[in-house]
């Protein structure tokens, strides 16, 4: 029985980062579309912006986890 190759932590983080960036872009597109509507739902707009900010924070956390600390 052959074992499937395991992904290392860096690969998992990179995949998760790509997914978060895609979600961030999708939320941005949704926010833009809602802004263009005649009578935008301000509560929905606020919720989308809050989610987008939370994803941005997650993206930053993932980027920090992927990038090694370099002491100059």
Q: Quick check: 39 and 4 in contact, CB under 8 A? A: no
Query: In the structure, what pLDDT confidence band is assigned to residue 70 with cuts at 50, 70 and 90?
Result: confident
Instruction: Tell me how far the alpha carbon of residue 7 is from its chain's centroid.
Output: 20
Q: Quick check: 26 and 61 in contact, CB under 8 A? A: no
pLDDT confidence of residue 4: 55
How far apart are the two ends of the chain, measured CA to CA in Å? Answer: 47
Question: CA-CA distance, 70 to 72, in Å (whole number)?
Answer: 6
Entry pTM: 0.81
Query: In the structure, what pLDDT confidence band is assigned to residue 69 with cuts at 50, 70 and 90?
Result: confident
Q: What is the pLDDT of residues 19-68, one digit of tens each?
A: 999 999 999 999 999 999 999 999 999 999 999 999 999 999 999 999 87
């Amino acid at each position: 029985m052959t074992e499937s190759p395991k992904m290392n932590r860096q690969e998992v983080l990179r995949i998760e980062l790509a997914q978060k960036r895609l979600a961030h872009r999708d939320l941005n597109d949704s926010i833009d579309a809602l802004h263009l509507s005649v009578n935008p739902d301000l509560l929905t707009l606020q919720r989308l912006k809050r989610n987008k900010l939370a994803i941005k924070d997650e993206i930053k956390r993932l980027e920090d986890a992927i990038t090694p600390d370099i002491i100059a």
